[in-house]
Each structure stands twice: as C-alpha cells, then as structure tokens.
Structure 1
C-alpha cells in the first residue's frame, strides 16, 4: 500500500521535478529572445556570463540564461534542440546529482548544458565516459556546439604524450575515460616537477554510464606498478602440479585436494591437498625434504601455489580472458570488452599465462594506487547520467553523497517486457532461442540477442549457422566493428548477437542508422533515395513490433539486465524483451539449485519451459542478494582504502608542497632538529643523571649520521654547568651551523637539491610502504581467527607503518643532506635527470587490479542467505508421479498443468 504522505505530497522525486520545472519555465521564456540574437551576439553571451561570474554572480543565477543560450546554440550548430526533459536533466546534473534517463533520451546532449555553465567559472569541466571511442565521438559531436559558443574542447586518451595531455586538460571541456582520468591523477602525483603535472583542479565532473563507472568498476583499485624480479620458471613448474590435484566432490564430502566456493570466488587447499602439494614440490626440487609449505621462508612458494590454483579453477578462457597474439587479455565482465594492458595483481596474471603456455611477464611492484570512490570524491561537484541508476540509489547516496533523480521520458514507453522462460538445460534453451529468433525475423522485426560471455556468443553463433540464420556477432573479440554493426542492428530481420550491451553508447535506430548511411553518400539524388528507403524500412520495423531483445541468461545484477532491455523502446518506439534461462546458468545453479527438483517433479518434457511471474520474482530476489554481496565488497574495499587514502593525501600534499618549493628550507631545518633530538634520546635518556649518559656512543652517532666530529665529552669536562637541555641546543646549533656553511656556497640552488633529495627519498619509501600495505591487507583477514577485528587491526598497523615511514623519511633526508658532497651548481638538475632516466627505463603497467583480498572475507548476511531465500520462495510441490498435460498442476494453482507450469515457451 502506498504511503499516505507520498500520495498527498508526492515522492521526493516528484517534488524535485516540480521545483526544476519552474526553472525550465524560465528557460523557455528566454527562448524567443535568444532566437532574435545573431550568431556573434549569441557567442558574446559566453564572455558576458564569465564577466558576471567574476563580479560575484553565482552559476545558479546564471543558469536559466546559460541554458537558453546552449539550447539555441544546439539548434544553430547541430540542428538539435534540447527537449524540456533534457533541460530538467541538465539542472539535475548541475546540482550534483545522478540523472536517470532512459536509452535514446539524448544523455550526450543533456551534458552540454551543465558543462557549458560550469566552464564559465574558469575551471575545466571533465566529462567521463567508459571508453576512448565514446570520448572521441562525443567530443567531436558536441564540440561543434562548444566551439560555436566560444569554448575549447579537449580529449584525454590512452597513448597520448604528456604534452598532448597537458594541452587537452587546459581546455574548457575535457572528455576522457574513467581509467585515464584516474591514472593521470596518479601520474601527476609521481611527477618530478610542477611543470610535469597535467590534470589541474578537480572542480566539476559529469560521469556518463555512472553506474558502470562508480558501481561496477569500483570493486577494484587503480594501480600503477613497475616490473619486479623475474620468476617465470617457478610459475611454469608449479603450473604442472595443479592438474594433478582433484576438486572436492561436494561441500559435505571429505575427499579432494581443494575446495572451491563459487559464491565467494575463492579456492583453498584441503589438508590432503597440502600434503600432496608438499610431496610434489619436494619431488620437483622446490622444497627441502624436511621443510613445510607454511614455513616463514616458503611464503613466496605458497603465494605461487595459490595463484596457480585460482588461475586453473576460477578463470576460464573466453569468459574472464582471451588469448590474443600470444598474450592473456582480460575481459570486462560488465561490458564484454577486452582490456589490453590491464593485468591482475598478486601474480595471478602470470599464473594464467603459465596455464595457457604463453610468455610470462614479470610480477610488478605497486608505485601508486587509488580507488574510483576516493578519486571521484576529490571533485568539488560530481554528477552522473545513466539509463539504470535507481536500483543502486542507496549506494550512490551512501558512498558518493549523490541523489538519484528519475527524469521522465520525452514520449511514453511502449516496450513489452515478457516473463522469463526457464529450461532444464542450456542446449534446450539455445534451441528455443533459435526458434524464437526465426519466428521474430519472419515477421520482419530485428533481434538483439544479449549474452553474458564471449563463449556463449560464439556457441549461439554456431547454433544460428546450423539453422541458416544470418547474424552478426558483437563481442570482446570484434569490438573494432561494433559501431558499424550497431548502426544496422535495427534493420528489418537483422539478427545481432552482443556480449553485455552495457556501455556501448550507440542507439539502435529502427530501420537502421540513416545518418551513417548518408555520411557515405555525396550525390543528393542518392541521399533522397536512401531517405525514402529508410522510411520504408523504419515503418516495416514499427509494424513488426520494433526491436526484440532476447537475453540468454540473467546477469547477477538487475541493472545489467535492465540495460539490455533498455536497448529497445527508445523515444516511444515499440519493442519487446524476454530472457531465456536454463538451470545450467550460473545464477540458477548457485542460488536456485532446488528449481531442478520442481521441474523434474512436474515431469517436463525435452524442450518444454516454465513461464511464471513467480519464477521471475524468485530470480530477481536472488539477484538482490548478489547485489547486496557486491555492495559489501565495494564498501569493504572503500573502508580499507579510506585508511590508505588519508595517508595518500598527506604524502601527495607533501609532494605538491615540495614541487612548489614552498618553505623547503624551514621544513628541512625542523626535520633536522627532530631527528637530532630523537637521536640524542637514545644516548641521553630524558630526565636522566649524567652517569647514565652514553657520551662516546653519542659522539659516534653524530659522526655517522651528520658527518661531524663533536667533542661532547670535552664540552662536559670544560663546563660542569652544561645541562642536558643546553647540551641538546648546542648540538642542534652546531649541526645546523655546519649545514648552513655548506648551503651558503650553493645559494638558492641548495633549495632545489633539498627538494630533489626529499622527493627521491619520499617516493622510494612510499613505494615500499604501498607494498607493505598490500602484504598487510592480504593477510589481515586471518586475524579474525584470533578473535580480532581485521579492519581495526588493519587501521592500527597501517597507522604504525605510516608513522615509521615518516620517521624514516626524516632520518634518511637529514643523513643524505649531511653527507652530500656538492661539486656542481646544477646538482639538482642532475638528480632530477637521473630519476627521469630511471623512470623511463622502468616499464609501468596501468592496471585495474582484482580486489581478491577483500573478497576473501566473510560474505554478507544477505549473500549467505541468498540460496535459502531462493528456496523458500518456490511453489509448493507435491510428491506425485509424472504429471499429464491435462492434469491439475502440482503447484496447487488449480489450473491445468499445460496452462500453468507446463506452458510451452
């Protein structure tokens, strides 16, 4: 029953829309005035707005006029006028919210409104998309409008030089991918000078496909790493051992050498497995006969064994990765795209390379890392657009502080979403999909078949070939052709198989993409003929019921399913969608295993299916459980990274201060005094008597650390009134005086040397610290066995490690500067050049690493109860012999079996 207050006052979404519609009314009132301006006068509005902003007028007060200018500019530069619902979307984005807009509602055009407005402040606006193709396409497409209004547009892409990126980031509007923005942030914080920094201020960002970027991609951190030692031979040797291990047959059984938890994606050795692996390692000469795999000296060996186990049992070829040109290339589970250059961490990628017998690349050391959550929260204002955000509204609000506003469609939705069809086996399901597709294309309607993996798309393609059904395949292996294929996917009778359609960014136009066709024609007559042919095709598809979506299985996220459905029914077009499911599908097998019993008891024949809203609801409940678990994983990753983020911000702030040359001399002086005092404490304990002092030890320490012979014993003999405090001050002053003499010979050049030395030490220690933090995080979940809270333990130890880092930083910087022998005025430049050369020799990898460590913790309560919840929601099934088609249905509905759970697909 609806909330009475909501019935009276409307939902929060309704109230937000009512408020924004008043602003839209103001924008509409300005339209005629903008139309009356010539092009130069309209363009001059940009300069006028910038001046008014500098004089103190807020962007909010400029919004109605600015949006009216953009709308008129869109008409003149591109022949596109913003609808009222697009203006609403623009206001929602400007206010720092997530705008949920259905596919085909023109999200790309909506972004121009807040982007133009916020660029008036003088800060660059970042528009973030899911791939380089869309970034380039949108920048070229919308660039006509921005340029017409006097703004510059830049595109940030992978493979650009530092100079090209710096130029792109200096533009008013900057397009790029989430990975590139995130990695550039990390690169900026590895820079050797302020001139090397590219990104500038993080002021306003609009994230396209915001759910894909801030939700799906947020499960794993961004890592820049450098190659470490080569242990490829060890990977190969251990790879040969894994096939000799056997999997435990069931959860209750005690056989087998290892256990797989498919829900948690973990694999662990059993006791028998440990013994067998140790025996094999001894036989292979990798382990001493009296040694154990768990000895402290063999933890590296255990790391390799675990990586190989996971590579063989959790990662399938053509599902999680493909082998392309002799390399293991990962596949994005959410978009179906290959991710060249992206590598798994913790030696897992090398283990997969050994498994596939391709060249093994060296393991890597973390140089810098962050998460998308913490990166995007650095923006002063963050906003986003998507076709499906409402299912993740809670997470957007809790993690990013973003409210979701559902924008009404410009035209009513006409798509029919039909109930799922459930089959006993994958083979039966695929046969049914072939027949359904044949029926649809006989009526002249186009079909888009969505698959969850490359493997399924290729298998289904084989079925279509056998049935002589022409089709195109769009997946991670052929994405270069995707724009061309999608352009024609709406033609009558065309069949397209596509791996997860999320993030494709291209609308499927009924009848085919006319603009793409016209772009290839020069002759006016040919263009007119093409338009007429398109009108005919368009009408034929409309008459056939529009685009039909066929899903080959349910994804673990309802949102991904909704994205697939959303390809049909754009801008009020007709359309239909249906998912075909088998008991072999991962979601069904793991969370709804008892469904097999139901279907067997009702005596289903081969090829028959169950169609029931009750079944569809049960599947959606299972999806909610998985979504709950995935949210827990992302939240846990963030909780751990928040600890590292506090440290990261301190280090990056310190680097910026050093690069800017702010107060370096004073900083070094204070550090030196701290180091001297803590050093003296070791030999002259505070509040101690002189007999307890280790004077000779102190003299040796001062000589070793500060390169100074200081006659402390003589000072004490000559002056009986020389107290501890006075002695400390005298030592500090003496060390400082000697350093000042050396410094005076170099003048201001000494500040540059101090900066370079401190940067070099800081960067080296930070890299080591990141590696130590990685190792700490990998083993921290084991503290739970000692009845300790892993997160609290992680925070405590991370704090201690960071304090130790700062202490080492002080000591090493002071020691190096004290011993430094300066021979040339350009010493600082030499240090910087040497560091640049070392960095150039080191091949950096930019990876969106697997967050395996955090997924090893306990599953959420929701995830743990997923299977039982699925079980309790099924229809009650009576024990009975095989049911005839005219008999009452065993589910107790009162209907005949053939009209209920025995209904044919």
Structure 2
C-alpha cells in the first residue's frame, strides 16, 4: 500500500520532475533546428559565433540565443569529436547555464555537457572558467574539448601549477579557461597583492562551471586557501614575554595535563597585567582589551611552552634548535615546527636562536571565493544528499538529470557481520567467486590503510588484484580504466577514479604509451566515427566486453559505510553506466566506525541473543534505512560545523572584500590626490577630537599633545598653544587652521617633486602601507579567533563578540592607515627624481601557497609561490639556499652588488635596519 507521499508523487510528479518539465519544450526546439544546422558548411557553422555576438550587442539575451547556440555546439561536436549530445545532455547544459547543479550519473558524459553552456556564456566575451579537481583533468579536458571550441572560433586556455604570472594572464584572457579550484583561488589572492593593473592575471569572475562540485565545494571547502610569508623578526618580543612566565605562582594558572590545557586564573590575569604594565607592553587597562589580542596570544603560547611541554620528553635541544619528539615513536622529527608561535615560545624558553615564523599574507575559503562569480553552475554524479547545503551556502539548486538509458544496476541490501574478521572473510569469498565467473570487481574502502589491509588478505589467498591509492592522478585514470576487464579486482579508496569511467571489457590502449598518443590526437579534430555521447576512450575488446556483460557487469563492493551517503553513492555509481548491467553491495561489521558511533554494543547483544552464528550475516532493508538515518545525522553535524566556521570567515570576508575593492580602485585610479587629501583631513579630525573633546572647557584641552602630534605626523611646527590662548577661540577655528596649514604643506611637497613624481610616490606609499597593515590585521584576527571561544564561559555569544571586536580592530586599522600614509607623505624626501622606482617594479614578499587536504591532512601546495610565478621559486628550502649563495657575492660597501632588495629585508650595508628605513628610504 502506497504512503500519502508516494501517492502524491505518483499523481503530481516529484519536485525534480516539475523542475525538468520546462526543459522539454526547449529540447524540442533544439532538435527541430538540427537538419538546418547540419546542412551548413564548416565555415558557415563557424560564422554563427560572430552572428550570435552581434545579436547580443543588439539587445538579445543569452536565453534568446540558447536553442540555436546549443544546436550549433551539438553539430560542432559531431564534426570534431564524432559525438552527438543526447537530449538529456541538452537538459544538463540548460541546468548549468541557469546557475544550478546538474546531478548526472557516471558515464553520462558530463565533460561533453559542459561545452553547451560554456560556449553560450563565452559569447559575452567576459571569460568562462571550467573548474576541475586536479591538473591532469584540467589539461585533459581542455585539450579534448578545445576541438569543439576552436572549431567555433573560441580561444581555450589552461591554468596549471608550473606557470608564471605572464603565462597565466594569457590563459585567463581566453574565452574559455580550464583549471583547478586551488589555482583559481590562489590567483585571486595573488592578484590582490600586486602593484599595477597590468600585472593582474584574472579579469573578473563572470561564470564558472565546477566539475565534481560536491568534492570541491563541500569536501575540500573544509580548509581555506592560505598564502603565507615570513613575519618580521619578533624574537625580542618572544624573549620579553618568556621572562614573565617563571614569575607566575601556582595559583596564577590552572593546569590539566590530561587534556593538555593550561590557562590563567583571575589572579594570574591580574599578575600578568601588572608585569606587562611595568614593561610598558599593556595597551589600555585590561589584558583582554581588544588592542591586546596579540599580547594575550603570545602570553598563552609562552605559558603552554613552560607548563605543558617538557624538555627531553616533548622536544630536545640540538645544534641550537628545538627539535620535536614524536610522542608515539620517540623519534626526532627534524624540520617539523609547531605553529601559531608555539615553536618560537619554546625557542625563547630554551634560549636558542628564535627562527622567524610565517604569517598569513592572504587567505580565503572556497565558499567565499566561488561566491564571487556572477553565475555558478556545477555537475557531479552525487549532489542530492547535500542539496540543503548547496542552496544554503551557495544558493545553488540541485536538479537530477535523468539517464539516457534506463539504470538496471541491482543495489543489494547491506550485509552486517558481528566482527571485521567475518566481514573480510565474506568479501574475499565473494571476490573469488566473481573472479572465477569473469566478473570485474571494484572494492571501495574508506582509507588507504584499509585498502592495504584488504590487499594483504587477498595476497595471502593468491588473488590477483590492483590497489589504487590516489597518489598520481594520471596513473589513477589509467588504472581505473582497466577495472572493467573480466575478472579484474581493483581496490580503491573513496578518492580514487574521479574523472574517468570504468568501461566493461577494459581499455586495450590505456597504457602510458597509448595515453600519450591519445593526448596527441586530442589536439586536432577527430574524425566522425560514432554517435556515442559519453566521453570516448579507445574501443574496448568486443569479446571481453561480452564476457563482462554475461558475468553480470561491474560488481561494486563497499567494505564499510562512509559517514556521508554521497561518498557511498559515488562508489555505487561506478557500476551500471549507460544502461550496462551491474551490482553493488556493502559489507559492514559492528566494529566499523559508523556502527560504533551509533551504539553497536546494544545491537551486538541483540544479535547474540537471536543466536547469530559466526560468519552469518543479518540482511534486511530496515538496516539500510537505519544506516541512512545515521549517515544523515553525521552529515547534518558536519554541515553545522562547516556553517559555523563559515560564519566566522564571513566576518573576515566582508573586510577582505572592502580592502580588495579599495585596492583595485587605487590601482585603476590615475590620480590619488583627492584620496590622500581626504585621509589627511580625517587625521586632522581625529587629532582635534582627541585633544579637544566635545563640550569640554579650554582648561581641559590637551594643546601640548596636539602640537606634538602635528609635528610628528605633518612635520609642522605650528603655534597651536598661541591659537588656543586667543580669546573666544573655538574648536572649529583651530581645526580650520590645521586643515589650511596641512594642505599648504602637501601642496608645497607636490610642487617640489612635480605632479607625476608625487602621484607615483602617493600610490607606492598608499598601497604598500595598506598591504602591511592588512597582513598585521589578519594575524590579529587569527589570534582573536583562537581566544574568542573563552567568552562563552561568560554567557556571551563568541560569534557576536568576534563580529564586534573584529569591526573595532578594522576601524583601528583604517585609522592607522590614514595616519601612517599621511605621515610618510609629509616627511618624504628624494635626492633625485630618478631615485623613485616605478610601482609595478615593486617586489611582492616571499610567498608560500597552502591548502590542507581534509581527507589526508597533507599540504597540497607546499611549494614556493615566488614573485615571478607560484612555481618558479621552488621550495622554501631551495630558495633559501639560493639566497645564501647569492649573499656571498654581496659587498656591503658597494650597493651595485646588492641587486634587488626587498623593502622589509635587512639592509645589505649591515646597519641592522630594514632596507626601507636605511638605503631604501626616500632621502
């Protein structure tokens, strides 16, 4: 008997059916155009691109052009690739064009689907980005699909890791640009650190299609992209803070060795405040005033270094270095360093040389990067289970596109065993049976360790197999392509096989040599051979394919349930492509992680009571439903974690957008005189407001302080005390005189240098000061984020506290910016006009790009992002070696041997000052 929900769906159709209904009429219009378009010559078909662009300029919209444009792309694909888009692929293309996510099963030809909306949106000339999960897929798909784009007169670019800035700019200037999520994100961050419009690589964020959208926007979005660089030397500060910690008494801190946590008590706060105040390091009255966030961070790290970390247990001191000891193996971990200043605190404690720490120069989450695009589309085989997150975070609706051929894969109920040993025995017996029958098998595991465990068990039983651990993406694609060979056994983690289909019968030419030949052929148009819609590979052996089909198609086995239903569906989706037969089944034990989390002890007792014998399994649809509910709970929890982290990042994102937008305006503005003048007047406003509070008496005015500040900032010696002594003088009159005097001083400077030189100096000072303060602000926000959670103990919402205090810090940063820029411009002197370097020649600081893979914890981008390009500098160690080698040729007494010196680097003359304050200063 049908439930009310099922009955309603049967009568009215599902919500997804209603989404699909409007597309049918457009598909009919595209199909009706096919005979007319097919009759065109190659030249006439190519000429339609210019015609479409003229019609767009004439006022037509992309939606008006869609049927004709899609029909044009379909015909171009037939002529170049020998492939014709199926009707369901046309639907997928329309879903992407509308800025939605198209869920299309594995083998349905998503790579080809993307050509439809990419071509249509590229007609605007604003550039379309196609985002993939790795460099191999970006290069492969760009080379493959460029046959269609180039046939129609579009240019195609590819962004890969080993490119310099100029090469990237050329690729971004193309109509269509393929690349990875990491590369697009890092290029955005790097562009917002450059000093000239001409140096920018990207040209905007109009439309992007994200392949494997669930992997990129959910899995990889758990960790941000970070560009970091060396922090200014703060060894004195670490040493100063370190001196205070031994002075604390036992009642000044609480230590919990079990959780490895230490914190100051109320008495400890007062004691530290007094120590800091005596050393003139405390701003304001309280240690926890917002101005002291960085001080609090350093105090806490020093406290941890002294009270939680023991010498010769957690670390040793060797060759003037603090070397970490692994707590499990007891081995030294040379080269590893604690983050967030903890390692520097340990170095200060042990009185060894304090190595500089890295600071965040720029950072962004994938959530906030991809929300920069005017329109965003995505495609994947598994998105429906995460539909709520896509709509909530990105505003992306998920549409399930039907398959071209009916799905006939048999998805069997899960088998649940009491122990992992019993489960693995059952899996191995099933593998042996399938191999005898010639049925190919794909065995999915949740980790590399479990892949290797299963491989070892198969090896003992002498069962031939291949293990795929997702280390090299190109090898991965070739191995997974052979998983359809009759009797093949392929063990893969959930990260394996992306972007490649498993074809029954295997791929005879998927060796390295064959793949090189295929890539070479992909650069030129392919002859028309077939009307198959899925991305083509070399033909499979008919005999082997028939053997695999007769054996039942690809058999997918899951060795346990993943905490996300989407990952399980990805594994299942490898089988049953394009109407092929197939089977899938998951094997579970009560010792699996997911089962343990949801109370397997109680179930174990129940199964014993029911008399479940060894090697017997319990199989029932109710278990599947219960497991799916458990997975849904874990997914909801993970979503809440990501959403909460995003709330904090959104606070920083608002500030980042304001700074980056302002920076772009400064780069594009030819004359910054008005901007600088406005900042100068703001500084005067602040100085007057501080010295002459509103509604105060003349006796309360801080005239001496005002005079000193005016002298320090504006380099003016004004008779401020005489003005204040005038009878009846008002605050407004003093303010007006200061404005007039400072404007005259600025005008004199401009006349002295000349307008052109002055504009150059203004731009250099403004941008470089802004960058320096923004980087300091990022460090402060990191420190604030780490300590803000403690506000919860005071019944205050940490997020609201973070919003409030970060806004205060942002306002303070802007005030410091106005004061610093004004002060530098008022004091600037140049001996010769030739001494002023062009701003676009200014060096970016040494940079490293980082993105932590959430599944492995490994840094995907632990390579130097040097000034000429992210990969051209090599690793940090390599660059340091080059710097040391170059230093031997430097003569401190001869500036001509110094080469290009970064402004924040120590001056090569040996004075001990920074270059910008010594020989690099405007003098």
Q: How many residues align?
A: 758
Structure 1, unpaired ranges of 5+: 233-255, 260-266, 272-293, 313-322, 329-342, 352-359, 853-905
Aligned to 1:683: 691
Contact preservation (8 Å) 2:503, 2:540: no
Structure 1 position 614, deviation (Å): 2.2
* Residue 103 (structure 2) aligned to one of 76, 100, 104: 100
Structure 1 position 479, deviation (Å): 4.6
- Runs of 4+ aligned structure 1 residues displaced above 6 Å come to 229-232, 267-271, 294-297, 304-309, 325-328, 347-351, 517-522, 530-533, 849-852
Structure 1 stretch displaced more, 472-481 or 546-555: 472-481
Structure 1 position 92, deviation (Å): 0.7
Provide Cα deviations, 1:859-905, integer angstroms capped at 9, x if missing partner: xxxxxxxxxxxxxxxxxxxxxxxxxxxxxxxxxxxxxxxxxxxxxxx
Aligned to 1:420: 414
What is the SS of the residue equivalent to 2:106?
A: coil
Structure 2, unpaired ranges of 5+: 236-255, 265-294, 315-330, 346-353, 519-528, 530-536, 857-923
Matched, 1:599 2:603: no
Aligned to 2:392: 398
Matched, 1:379 2:373: yes
Contact preservation (8 Å) 1:307, 1:348: no
Matched, 1:438 2:439: no
Contact preservation (8 Å) 1:583, 1:589: yes
Aligned to 1:829: 837
Matched, 1:511 2:514: no
Structure 1 position 426, deviation (Å): 2.3
* Residue 47 (structure 1) aligned to one of 50, 60, 68: 50
Distance, in Å, in 2 between the alignment partners of 1:737 and 1:297 is 44
Aligned pairs for 1:311-326 (under 5 A) are: none
Structure 1 position 593, deviation (Å): 2.8
* Residue 570 (structure 1) aligned to one of 559, 564, 577: 577
Structure 1 position 658, deviation (Å): 1.1
Contact preservation (8 Å) 1:489, 1:496: yes
Contact preservation (8 Å) 1:169, 1:199: yes
* Residue 810 (structure 1) aligned to one of 815, 818, 822: 818
Matched, 1:785 2:788: no
Structure 1 position 14, deviation (Å): 1.5
Provide Cα deviations, 1:155-204, integer angstroms capped at 9, x if missing partner: 11122111111111011111111111111111111112111211111001
Aligned to 1:110: 113
Matched, 1:711 2:712: no
Distance, in Å, in 2 between the alignment partners of 1:187 and 1:197 is 8
Provide Cα deviations, 1:194-237, integer angstroms capped at 9, x if missing partner: 112111110011111111111222222222112448999xxxxx
CA shift in 2, pair 1:708/1:295, >3 Å: closer
Structure 1 stretch displaced more, 824-833 or 597-606: 824-833
Contact preservation (8 Å) 1:757, 1:813: yes
Structure 1 position 124, deviation (Å): 0.6
Aligned pairs for 1:211-610 (under 5 A) are: 211-228=214-231, 258=258, 298-301=299-302, 346=340, 363-477=357-471, 479-501=473-495, 504-514=498-508, 516=510, 534-594=541-601, 595-610=603-618
Provide Cα deviations, 1:86-129, integer angstroms capped at 9, x if missing partner: 00100111111111100000000000000000000111101111
CA shift in 2, pair 1:575/1:826, >3 Å: farther
Distance, in Å, in 1 between the alignment partners of 2:355 and 2:405 is 53
CA shift in 2, pair 1:789/1:806, >3 Å: same
Matched, 1:757 2:765: yes
Distance, in Å, in 2 between the alignment partners of 1:307 and 1:132 is 43
What is the SS of the residue equivalent to 2:129?
A: strand
Structure 1 position 424, deviation (Å): 2.5
Distance, in Å, in 1 between the alignment partners of 2:549 and 2:33 is 37
Contact preservation (8 Å) 2:470, 2:496: no
Structure 1 stretch displaced more, 554-563 or 595-604: 595-604
Aligned to 1:191: 194
Structure 1 position 532, deviation (Å): 9.4
Q: Structure 2-normalised TM-score?
A: 0.77
Aligned to 1:315: none
What is the SS of the residue equivalent to 1:448?
A: strand
Distance, in Å, in 1 between the alignment partners of 2:730 and 2:101 is 66
Aligned to 2:667: 659
Distance, in Å, in 2 between the alignment partners of 1:304 and 1:845 is 28
Aligned to 1:154: 157
Structure 1 position 619, deviation (Å): 1.6
CA shift in 2, pair 1:143/1:793, >3 Å: same
What is the SS of the residue equivalent to 2:600?
A: coil
Structure 1 position 597, deviation (Å): 2.3
Aligned to 1:22: 25
Structure 1 stretch displaced more, 532-541 or 109-118: 532-541
CA shift in 2, pair 1:724/1:120, >3 Å: same
CA shift in 2, pair 1:27/1:667, >3 Å: same
Distance, in Å, in 2 between the alignment partners of 1:520 and 1:700 is 73
Aligned to 1:775: 783
Provide Cα deviations, 1:588-617, integer angstroms capped at 9, x if missing partner: 122233333233333444333222222222
What is the SS of the residue equivalent to 1:422?
A: strand
Aligned to 2:93: 90
Matched, 1:174 2:177: yes
Q: Structure 1-normalised TM-score?
A: 0.78
CA shift in 2, pair 1:231/1:752, >3 Å: closer
CA shift in 2, pair 1:769/1:565, >3 Å: same
Structure 1 position 737, deviation (Å): 0.5
Structure 1 position 724, deviation (Å): 2.8
Aligned to 1:210: 213
Aligned pairs for 1:890-901 (under 5 A) are: none
Aligned to 1:739: 746
Contact preservation (8 Å) 1:374, 1:645: yes
Structure 1 position 849, deviation (Å): 7.8
**Pairwise CA RMSD of aligned residues?**
3.4
CA shift in 2, pair 1:155/1:498, >3 Å: same
CA shift in 2, pair 1:170/1:306, >3 Å: farther
Structure 1 position 725, deviation (Å): 1.5
Matched, 1:636 2:644: yes
* Residue 620 (structure 1) aligned to one of 625, 628, 638: 628
Matched, 1:725 2:732: yes
